Amino acid sequence: MNQVPSNNRRILIVDDDASVHHAYTRALAHRQTETDVDAMEDALFGDGEASGKQTSHLDDVKFEVDHAYQGQEALAKLEDAIKQGHPYVAAFVDMRMPPGWDGVETIEQMWRVHPSLQVTVCSAYSDYKWNDIVKRLQKADQLLLLRKPFDPVEVWQIALSMTEKWNLSQLYLMQLKTANDQLARELGERKRAEARARHDAMHDALTGLPNRALLTDRVEQAIQWVRRKSGTCCAVIFLDLDNFKIINDSLGHKAGDIVLCHVADRLREAVRTTDTLGRPADGIAARLGGDEFVILLEELTDPQQATVVATRMRDVLSNPIVLEGRQIIVGGSLGIAIGTAKHESGDALLREADTAMYRAKFSGKSRVCVFDQKMHEAVLARLSLETDMRGAETRGEFHLAYQPVVKLATGEIVGFEALLRWNHPQRGAMLPEAFIPIAEESGQISRLGAWVVEQVAEVAAEWRAKGLLRDHMSLSLNVSRLQLLDEQLMETVTKSLTRHNLPGKFLAFEVTENAVMQGSKDVVSMLRKLRDMGSDVLMDDFGTGHSSLSCLHKFPISVLKIDRSFVDTMRSSSDYAAVVQAIVVLAHNLRTKVIAEGIETAAHLTQLQTLDCDFGQGFIFSHAVPRAQAEALLAKGTIKPDMRQAA
């Protein structure tokens, strides 16, 4: 039913006698003013004095009266009024209306289309008994009896009460509907909020991909499926972006977020098919955090399908991303672990994929590697080494060895490179390449680096006090890119220099070519701070990366160290000799000194002297030696090369 007008007073008179219609019309045409009506109003709405002095709300009551002379006509008018949105609210119905329906059937028909209609039955004493009428019609609460002949005042009172009752009931129904609608909206909003909360709890806010919680649950379900379904397997592909750290550091976090979203979109697309036939894959791509993603492939019948998907992902990631007008290639290393019924949990499968990913990354990046048991054993050994490293410096297991840096023209010692060594209780002597990557990954590099700075500063101060370390000499130590990104590095160096009353020029810092060329603004800023402190900055392993001499002036580099691979191949390749010569010439033009590493033979030395290389290190002069032996070399001042080394 359409919304009804407020204060509806529309009444239908149903009687076959025209004189009765006329009587109803007169009774309802205006308010009755008989004394008994006034008395009733006073009793209901106030005292007589008040009612005589002010206008009553009953003065505004105006009934809208329509007429029907047969039941069928009444029903038609009732239906039409409903269609027009202005229904009758009450009806006075005669009990006998020949030749058509009687009053009871008329009321039944009207209630069928208008159940809330208030009805007054008009009956003579000879008509149906009231109990029989109520028993047949049932709705006693919507039914009144008016005996003929009726009193006009009584008709007016009944019409007033019936229409008022209907209007109030409609008002309450509308209020109830409004309240129910509001409750439904609130419940709907709550359900949507709960759904959003559940979604947010299980999805990454940046990329919209499933997060670790949802992935872990899905992996567990996949393992359970494999156990129930013979001949199937699942696979986890662990992806770590190769160049994301550089992008994030150099272009900022906003650019990094854009790259992550691009990667997420590509992974969604790649996981949709499992093979070249385009069959749909059962699986998800998820983001664990940072630049780590995981792809779960479920219900596989051939483990090789995982390799197909991983290879496709690697190829997709090699496509450049256009960011701020430049093309950026991210690349990724992917590790695959195949889930079978033997797996105890999803976590174990994820760990295997993570292990395979690290093997892929250390194999040269942008690789795909499948997990095997040997990798698991290597991980256990790595974890053991990480644990052993904690506190090793306080147990006296770490020490420094010193390799002299010699002026090639004269053999004069101009400094030493301090090289970290680990005397492991079970594994024996270990070189930095065996444990420094673990220190970086486990967050121990800052602590270990601070220990090295303190030891080198202490030795430099002691040798200077003895008059051995002169003003043009220095002790160099290696620092990683992670150390250069650590804001505490300058504080660590400054405190050590202050503690030992040592000027900054007596320490030098070696950083790899890749750390400089691929480093962020923060890396370059830290290098400038070290240089401004008076320390030289040495670019180590020069030539192994992709740097260009033409851009070296952008960095605070004092010395280039030519990688030993160039020195070793000069004799057999004129091309490498030409490269070394070009490095020396261009470096000198940039007022940068050059140190050649790995000089082991007389031929190496002779050729480098011919090329006017400034300084050198290598076994032809000395291995890295303990502190006391290094001090003895420094006291001699010069080193005579061992020309007996193979030419």
Q: How confident is the model at residue 616 (pLDDT cuts 50, 70, 90)?
A: very high
630 confidence band (pLDDT: 50, 70, 90)? very high
pLDDT given at position 65? 93
Helices (H), 500-573: 513-517, 521-532, 564-569
Task: Give the pairing type, strands 368-370 and 398-407.
Answer: unpaired
Q: Which of 29-38, 279-288, 331-340 has the lowest mean pLDDT?
A: 29-38
Separation CA 478–CA 436 (nearest Å): 11
Determine the residue type at 581: Q
**In the structure, what pLDDT confidence band is assigned to residue 263 with cuts at 50, 70 and 90?**
very high
CA–CA gap between residue 451 and residue 433 (Å, rounded): 18
> What span, in angstroms and rounded, lies between the C-alpha atoms of 157 and 151?
10
The percentage of residues in the chain with a pLDDT greater than 70, rounded to a whole number, is: 89
In the chain, % of residues over pLDDT 90: 54
So what's the pLDDT on residue 273?
A: 56
Q: CB of 248 within 8 A of CB of 324?
A: no
Contact 274, 308 (CB under 8 A): yes
Q: How much is the CA Rg of the chain, to the nearest whole Å? A: 48
Taking CB atoms within 8 Å and a gap of at least 24, the contacts of 186-193 are none
**What is the chain's mean pLDDT, rounded?**
86
* Dist. CA 292–CA 353, nearest whole Å: 12
pLDDT of residue 131: 78
d(CA 303, CA 275): 12
Q: 333 by DSSP, 3-state: which?
A: strand
Of residues 323, 168, 349, the one with CA closest to residue 255: 323
CB-CB contact of 439 with 445 (8 Å): yes
pLDDT category at 275 given cuts 50, 70, 90 is: very low
Asked if residue 183 has pLDDT above 60, the reply is: yes
Is 298 a residue whose pLDDT tops 50?
yes
- Residues 30, 36: Cα–Cα separation, whole Å: 16
Lowest mean pLDDT among 371-385, 579-593, 604-618: 371-385
pLDDT for res 458: 97
Whole-angstrom distance, CA of residue 306 vs CA of residue 369:
11
pLDDT tens readout for residues 485-516: 888 999 999 999 999 999 999 999 999 887 87
CATH 3.40.50.2300 residue spans of the chain = 10-174
Local structure of 422: helix, strand or coil: strand
In whole angstroms, give the CA distance from residue 496 to residue 458. 8
CATH 3.20.20.450 location in the chain: 386-636
The structure tokens listed for 261 are 């979203």
Answer with the residue of higher pLDDT: 463 or 317: 463
pLDDT value at position 53?
Answer: 45
d(CA 513, CA 544): 8
| Burial label, 18 (beta-carbon count in 10 A; 0-12, 13-18, 19+) | exposed
Fold that domain 10-174 belongs to in CATH: Rossmann fold (3.40.50)
Q: Contacts from 59-64 at CB under 8 Å and sequence distance 24+?
A: 59/31, 61/9, 61/31, 61/160, 62/9, 63/9, 63/10, 63/11, 63/28, 63/29, 63/159, 63/163, 64/9, 64/10, 64/11
pLDDT-based confidence at residue 279 (cuts at 50, 70, 90): very low
**Interhelix angle 244-251/521-532, nearest 10 degrees:** 70
Q: If you average pLDDT over residues 227-254, what whole number do you get?
A: 87
Q: What number is the average pLDDT over the span 183-188? A: 93
CATH code matching the domain that covers 212-371, chosen among 3.40.50.2030, 1.20.58.760, 3.30.70.270, 3.40.140.80? 3.30.70.270
Residue 643's pLDDT is 72
pLDDT digits (tens, 9 = 90+) for 27-68: 988 665 544 445 545 544 455 444 444 445 556 788 999 999
Query: 386-636: which CATH topology?
Result: TIM Barrel (3.20.20)
More confident residue, 569 or 633: 633
Worst-scoring range by mean pLDDT, 421-425, 462-466, 503-507, 555-559? 555-559
Measured distance CA(22)–CA(535) in Å, rounded:
118
Which residue in this structure is represented by tokens 């300084």? 615
What value does the mean pLDDT take over residues 307-335? 88
Query: Long-range pairs for 83-87 at CB < 8 Å and ≥24 separation?
Result: 85/2, 85/3, 85/4, 86/4, 86/5, 86/8, 86/10, 87/1, 87/4, 87/8, 87/10, 87/114, 87/117
Q: What's the pLDDT at 292?
A: 94
pLDDT in tens, 530-550: 999 999 999 988 876 555 565
Whether the per-residue pLDDT at 622 is higher than 70: the answer is yes
Reported as a single tens digit per residue, the pLDDT across 88-115 is: 999 999 988 889 898 899 999 999 999 9
Q: pLDDT digit string (tens) for 519-532?
A: 668 888 999 999 99
C-alpha atoms less than 13 angstroms from C-alpha of 589 in its C-beta half-sphere? 10
In 1-55, the DSSP E strands lie at 10-14
**Location of structure tokens 């082991």:** 600
Query: Per-residue pLDDT averaged across 306-313, rounded?
Result: 90
Query: Per-residue pLDDT for 418 more than 60?
Result: yes
| Mean pLDDT in residue range 354-380 | 84
Q: In angstroms, how far is CA 320 from the centroid of its own chain?
A: 23
CB-CB contact of 335 with 237 (8 Å) = yes
Supply the DSSP string of 385-405, one letter for each residue: HHHHHTTTTTTT-EEEEEEEE
Mean pLDDT of 142-154: 85
Q: Which residues of the chain form CATH 3.30.70.270?
A: 212-371
